[in-house]
Amino acid sequence: MPLPRSIWIGPPGSLEAMLERIDAHHHLWRYAKEEYAWIADDMGVLARDFLPEDLRRELLVSGIHGSVAVQSRQTLAETYLLLRCADEFDFIRGVVGWAPIASPEFPAVIERLQDSEKLKGLRHAIQDEPDGDFMHRPDFNAGVALLKQYGLVYDILIFERHLPAAISFVDRHPAQVFVLDHIAKPRIRDHEVEPWRTNIRELARRENVYCKVSGMVTEANWNNWGPADLQPYFDVVLQAFGPKRLMTGSDWPVCLLATTYQTWISTVEELIRPLSLAEREMILGGVASEVYSLARGSSAIQKG
């Protein structure tokens, strides 16, 4: 896969001729306890507002050029809020929102949503569904079948136990582009690799599936993790998907439960250090820019 020339920062051959660095997965919110019930008592660091200006500071310090905002609540109101943020802040290059994919109203909703050029994909929190067969529901699959005609990606948010169902789900939509969030949340805290490894390798055989190197530290021991704890899991997805189908995401601010934004980006840089420059740049931004069809920013991120 050639590097997408539309997102070169400088002329080929120059020191600046590298791909833009993209944080492919972060969240934004105005905190209200009743709307974020998943933020438990031991997650107090998350119980406040996290807004574009807060993110801008993190991107600036970490050398990130743009980002993809991802839904954290299953409401259309939040999707529209993220799209407004993306319109106002140029560094938010795209949005993966939520919409009622399994609802009879979905075709009408997606018609309205397509007016926004920065809507790049949709996501549903399958990990929170009590129905273990949710991905097999006919109404949900009928909605997912509409995404391709609108050029939208579908982000898969699951725990590792959902991987067998995810494989059969993806097989029902061979022409749809999928992005697996958080490498399917393996049991890093318990140092368990199987059956996650076997299932990840099988899922990765589907070339329409990409994977986000994100959310790993919050699956590890929040207070006592190191790169060595993550390395076996990164090695698996690198071998399974290859650099051409991996992208970097911070999962900010959720990552703050276990690390800082800068430390996570530095950790990813360390994990990919043995790769070639072209491979590193693909993982740090090129793949996300291509998969989500992100336009380049009109200007560099400025201090607020």
Task: Indicate if the pLDDT at residue 17 is higher than 50.
Answer: no
> What pLDDT is stored for residue 296 in this prediction?
84
- Contact yes or no for 26/250 (Cβ under 8 A): yes
Q: What is the pLDDT of residue 19?
A: 79
Could you give the CA distance from residue 89 to residue 261 in angstroms, rounded to a whole number?
A: 19
**Radius of gyration (C-alpha) of the chain in whole angstroms:** 18
Query: What's residue 153's pLDDT?
Result: 98
Per-residue pLDDT, averaged over 135-153, amounts to 97
Q: Tally Cβ neighbours within 10 Å of residue 42.
A: 8
Please determine, for residue 130, whether its predicted confidence score (pLDDT) is greater than 70: yes
Q: Map residue 112 onto helix, strand or coil.
A: helix
Q: Residues 108, 114, 120, CA angle at the centre, nearest 5°? A: 125
Domain extents for the chain?
Answer: 19-291
Residue 1, pLDDT above cutoff 60: no
**3 pLDDT exceeds 80?**
no
What is the predicted pLDDT for the residue at 234?
Answer: 98
| Sign of the four-CA dihedral 194, 210, 246, 244 | positive
- Inform me whether the pLDDT recorded for 177 exceeds 80: yes
| Per-residue model confidence as pLDDT tens digits over 114-125 | 889 999 999 999
Query: Looking at the predicted structure, is the pLDDT value of residue 86 above 50?
Result: yes
- 8 band by pLDDT with thresholds 50, 70 and 90: very low
Predicted confidence (pLDDT) at residue 51 exceeds the cutoff of 80: yes
pLDDT digit string, tens, across residues 224-283: 999 999 999 999 999 999 999 999 999 999 999 999 999 999 999 999 999 999 999 999
The pTM assigned to this predicted structure is 0.92
Residue 223 near residue 190 (C-beta atoms within 8 A): no
Written as one letter, the residue type at 251 is D
151: left (phi over 0), alpha (psi -120 to 50) or beta: left
Q: What is the pLDDT of residue 18?
A: 60
Over 70: is that where the pLDDT of 193 sits?
yes
Query: Which whole-number Å values give the CA distances from 179 to 40, 221, 279, in the listed order?
Result: 27, 25, 18
What pLDDT is attached to residue 298? 61
**Is the peptide bond between 243 and the residue preceding it cis, with omega within 30 degrees of 0?**
no
What per-residue confidence (pLDDT) applies to 132? 85
Q: Quote the pLDDT of residue 16.
A: 40
Q: What is the mean pLDDT of residues 168-174?
A: 98
Closest CA to 26 of 63, 69, 61: 69
Give yes or no for a contact between 210 and 241, defined as CB atoms under 8 angstroms apart.
yes
What's the rounded mean pLDDT across residues 293-297? 88
pLDDT value at residue 7: 39
Tell me the two tokens of residue 46. Answer: 């998350």
Assign 223 to helix, strand or coil: coil
Mean pLDDT of the chain: 92
Instruction: Give, as one character, the DSSP assignment of residue 253.
Output: T
Q: Which residue has the higher pLDDT, 304 or 108?
A: 108
Task: Give domain 19-291's CATH architecture.
Answer: Alpha-Beta Barrel (3.20)
- Is-cis flag, bond preceding 4, omega within 30? no
Q: What confidence score (pLDDT) does residue 302 get?
A: 60
Per DSSP bridges, beta strands 153-156 and 22-26 are unpaired
φ, ψ at 110 (rounded to 5°): -70, -30
CA quadruple 108, 290, 170, 165: dihedral sign? negative
Q: Please say if the pLDDT value at position 59 is more than 70.
A: yes
3-class SS at 210?
Answer: strand
Nearest CA to 178 among 126, 114, 107? 126
